[in-house]
Amino acid sequence: MHEKRIYVDKRMVSIPSGGLPLAFPGRETAVGTVDIRTRHARARVSNQPIPIKDFINFKKMSGNEILLNLDNNENLAHSELISGLIELGKRDKKNEHDWNQHPITTKCIKDLKSRIPVLNAKNVLQCSIVLDNLRVIDSEAWQLTSAHILRLLHKYKGRDMA
């Protein structure tokens, strides 16, 4: 797996060998100079910053890996849960699985239904894609999604619906 490297600025300060002269107003003492060199160096593991956008990328995973990650759905962000379910629907091109009966997807759809009222406009539209791709027959999920799409209708542009 490709490891992402994080770089930080390292500064080197060099002071003249004779030290710095003290310069006070009204004196004729020359101001000393300090040489500061900055270079870009790889950060050590102990001082690497926490990534701001550290989302799970489901596009590079197989179907079983997606299911293993979705099993921990209560710890996923809204966009991660929706992205995982969309990718799971893309992996089942031959419609071999009944996602309505699968325990992990049932749990995820139940969690998604509870999250729909707080989702943004883009994620609410993606919920309908999820329900369609996974062939979900839960009428409550469909009605909740359609009600919130209508609630957020003013947020959509015409090209979003095409």
Residue 47 is predicted with a pLDDT of 60
Residue 5 is predicted with a pLDDT of 72
Question: 158 to each of 142, 151, 154, 155, how far by Cα in Å?
Answer: 22, 16, 10, 10
112 vs 82: CA distance, rounded Å: 8
Average pLDDT along the chain, 162 residues, taken 10 residues at a time = 71 83 74 83 70 79 91 91 93 89 94 94 92 93 94 84 68
Residue 63 is predicted with a pLDDT of 87
Residue 134 is predicted with a pLDDT of 93
Residue 41 is predicted with a pLDDT of 84
